[in-house]
Structure 1
Amino acid sequence: MTDTYLNLVNTGFTKTLAQRLGLPRPAVLRRHRPGDPLVTGPVLVVHDAGSQAEADALAEQLLGWDLDVHRHGNRDDRFGAILVVLTGAQAPADLGAPLLTTGGVLRGLAPGGRVVTVSRAPGDAAPAVAAARQGIDGVLRSLAKELRRGATGNGIVLGDGVEIDAPSVAGTLRFLLSGRSAFVDGQLLTIGSGAGELPADWERPLEGQVAVVTGAARGIGAEIARTLARDGATVVAVDVPAAGDALAAVANEVHGSALQLDVTREDAAERITEHVRSRHGQLDLVIHNAGILRDKLLANMKPETWDPVLAVNVTAPLRITQALLDGDQLGTAPRVVCLASTSGIAGNRGQTNYAASKAGVIGMVRASASALEGAGGTINAVAPGFIETDMTARIPFATREVARRLNSLQQGGQPRDVAEAIAFLVSPQAGGVNGQVLRVCGQNMVGQ
């Protein structure tokens, strides 16, 4: 679906008119294209007094990616990204100097620029340390709302015992700096102690992996299949028999295979396993994307509008994932990603059933993290906000326009934005990200 207003205020005469009238001008976001630079200019590394060593290590990592790294900046300098290392903060007062230094160069942040903080989780730290570390959460979310011209702000939080040179720290940093995270804003990802490794080829980190994508016939599911295939995976596209033609087209496009299957069937996991074994030999990645809507006010809700939503959106992922784990059907480093929704976090009028199912997905992910870690893998959720799909195209015009402009980036996301987040979470470099919920919503929730 096309955002006509965004196109108008960024092209030709209407762009000039919008500037003269002072109209809101959502930026055209910087999205990933193979061969594009990781960032659009030099990277400034700022740090607090206690994190010199960590800042040096991250600067070396950036230099290894052939980036132009600066350790000092002036108000007139122009940067493609700012990395703010705050791992040494011992009290709230320690945050002032590095953050005010950051503020002094923000006006020079390039369009589509990135601000990334690196900090440590409060955990069982002393009260003053915990206050400083939690304060970074508030700073980052607020700063992300202040950025303009398509720039985003996100954070990396190091869990207990995680060193700055852990592969998942580098992998997450690269994702957040890149155009792959265009619609991820105001989010913090915690890196745990799970194993991860840097790929031999950053453009094809999923080479040799086999991925199952449910609900793959159209929309976000089809884009997930395309993105995983682009990154090197062999894709098994799954959808209901009624979507057979569209499903076959997607499978052919990505040079994968199609499986017509209702995921609510009790033998769904067995059917998936049989197909994968006969065609591809192994199963490494599972993306539970299939989902449905049956919106009604709770006062008007009936079993026929409640039950199918829960069955498809949360019961099927629960059953399939557990069966794959119990049957030892996953590879040595399995990755599972489930589609949640911001409706499952903040709720939405007329969506009690949908919100229950998507909040249930988040509960499933958090509760299943230890089991997947025990199997050498991870499970995470992606929670999209307003995404430009056929479904949102059916929303009444005025409501749709308001929904588009409510987030910090003042626009809807694209299916590829969701797909990019999933591709990161199933990659080898995300092995330390487990039990997390990554929102792909342009920061569309108050305070978050």
Structure 2
Amino acid sequence: MTDRYASFVRSGAGRALVKRLGLPDPPRLRRHTPGDPLAPGPVLLGAATGGRLAEQVRRIMAAAGVELADPAAAPAPERRHAALVYDATGITDSTGLRQLYDFFHPQARSVLPSGRVIVLGTPPEECGSPREATAQRALEGLTRSIGKEFGRGVTAQLVHVTPAGDAGTTTGLEATLRFLLSGRSAYVSGQVVRVGAGQAGPPADWDRPLDGQVVLVTGAARGIGAALARVLARDGARVVALDVPAAGDELATVANEIGATAVQLDLTAPDAPTRLADHLAGRHGHVDVVVHNAGITRDKTLGRMDADRWDQVLDVNLSSQERINDVLLERGLIPAGGRIVSVSSIAGIAGNRGQTNYATSKAGVIGLVQSLAPVLRERGISVNAVAPGFIETRLTARIPLVVREAGRRMNSMSQGGLPVDVAETIGWLSWPASGALSGNIVRVCGQSLLGA
């Protein structure tokens, strides 16, 4: 689907009109292309007094081939940075927050278009005192505001890193930095990501972080699911692409394109979990990653909605995920180090008129992730979710024009996201190196104003 407004404002006449009338100005976003450098310019690394992560980040940047800017150099108009990364873990009370101003104020205009801002902190619930927890919680206000202020496609994130870390934490931090600094995270902004302790190891090749991994993708025939299957295959995965029999032709096209296994299965069928488990066991012996992407909408206001619309949406979007998880886990088909990634929605966070069934199901997905995370941690399995906002698909193309334009513009990027933006985020959470991330709900919404 073409965003004609974005195309117009990038023309000469359009840019003049946008500037004169103060209209939304959608920037060109830097998206990932294999072979791209992690950062298209130097990265400025700063740290609060007593920060515990700066040296670790420095080593990660060096290993990734990222150029670090000289922190002692005075700010200058010609000195531009691809990213600003700040270790705020040393801030232990509210007076220490002044260090954030001292670092970011002189550098606010130095970030390149589609640049990145990353602040590293300590989870407030793991802080040593109420004052430290207060200061660390304040970091969310900083990063969310920067995401809205810097403009030009610049994203801003807060990464909470557990102080009780292990080797998995170190790898998880590296995986997270590699994702957030790269073009893979183009439409992710204003998020809080938690890196805990867990089973994770670096890949042999960061350009193929899923090499040899068996990954199940439900709803893979079209839209986000098809983009996801392609991204995972590009990153080295052996993809099992699943969709309903009615989408068999489209599913076969995607599977043949990427060398995936195609499985036609209605997930609401009573025997679907068992049949799927039998297929995975017989064909692969296990599954490293399960991506619950399949979903439907049956929109009506609650007062006009019949019971079938309610039941169908809840069954496909939520209950089928629970049933599949139960069988795969019971039969031990998801090994230690496995990952489960579910697709929620911003509607599950903010609600949406005419979508009470959909919003309920997607809020339930968030509950599923948050409740399973501590249980599966004991088995070395991580579970996370992504929550897309307005994504340019065939479904959103059917939305009435005025509502569609509002959905596109009501975010920090002033534009809708692409299916590949969701796919890249799921891909990152699927990496073995991301095994120490669990219980996260990452919004892929361009920092939408809804539910913020």
Q: Same fold (TM over 0.5)?
A: yes
Partner of 1:350: 354
Any idea what the Cα deviations from partners look like across 1:70-119, whole Å, max 9, x if unmatched?
Answer: 22351422100000110111111112123332121111110110000000
Instruction: Quote the Cα distance in structure 2 between the aligned partners of 1:186 and 1:45.
Output: 19
Structure 2 matches for 1:372-411, cutoff 5 A?
372-411=376-415
Instruction: Quote the Cα distance in structure 2 between the aligned partners of 1:99 and 1:274.
Output: 57
Instruction: Quote the Cα distance in structure 2 between the aligned partners of 1:181 and 1:330.
Output: 27
Partner of 1:102: 104
Any idea what the Cα deviations from partners look like across 1:46-88, whole Å, max 9, x if unmatched?
Answer: 111121x521221222122111112235142210000011011
Quick one: which amino acid aligns to residue 227 of structure 1? V
Partner of 2:161: 158
1:312 counterpart SS class:
helix
Instruction: Quote the Cα distance in structure 2 between the aligned partners of 1:210 and 1:383.
Output: 23
TM-score (norm 1): 0.96
Instruction: Quote the Cα distance in structure 2 between the aligned partners of 1:352 and 1:430.
Output: 33
2:108 counterpart SS class:
helix
Tell me which of 170, 176, 187 is aligned to 2:174.
170
Give the superposed CA RMSD: 1.6
Instruction: Quote the Cα distance in structure 2 between the aligned partners of 1:253 and 1:16.
Output: 43
Partner of 1:132: 135
Instruction: Quote the Cα distance in structure 2 between the aligned partners of 1:223 and 1:107.
Output: 34
Matched, 1:316 2:320: yes
Partner of 1:303: 307
Instruction: Quote the Cα distance in structure 2 between the aligned partners of 1:56 and 1:202.
Output: 21
Tell me which of 264, 270, 273 is aligned to 2:274.
270
Partner of 1:72: 72
Shift of 1:371: 3.1
Q: Percent identity?
A: 47
Partner of 1:63: 62
Shift of 1:422: 0.4
Task: Confirm or deny: 8 A CA contact 1:190 1:433 kept in the other structure.
Answer: yes
Partner of 1:442: 446
Quick one: which amino acid aligns to residue 199 of structure 1? P
Any idea what the Cα deviations from partners look like across 1:268-299, whole Å, max 9, x if unmatched?
Answer: 22212222233333311111111010111111
Any idea what the Cα deviations from partners look like across 1:213-238, whole Å, max 9, x if unmatched?
Answer: 11111001111111110000011111
Partner of 1:145: 148
Task: Confirm or deny: 8 A CA contact 2:392 2:417 kept in the other structure.
Answer: yes
1:107 counterpart SS class:
coil
Shift of 1:14: 3.3
TM-score (norm 2): 0.95
Partner of 2:114: 112
Quick one: which amino acid aligns to residue 59 of structure 1? R
Task: Confirm or deny: 8 A CA contact 1:197 1:429 kept in the other structure.
Answer: yes
Instruction: Quote the Cα distance in structure 2 between the aligned partners of 1:170 and 1:72.
Output: 25
Aligned residues: 447
Instruction: Quote the Cα distance in structure 1 between the aligned partners of 2:274 and 2:72.
Output: 57
Shift of 1:447: 7.2
Distance 1:163 1:138, change over 3 A: farther
Partner of 2:190: 186
322-331 vs 121-130, which deviates more?
Answer: 121-130
Instruction: Quote the Cα distance in structure 2 between the aligned partners of 1:434 and 1:237.
Output: 24
Quick one: which amino acid aligns to residue 37 of structure 1? P
Shift of 1:12: 4.6
Task: Confirm or deny: 8 A CA contact 2:24 2:409 kept in the other structure.
Answer: no
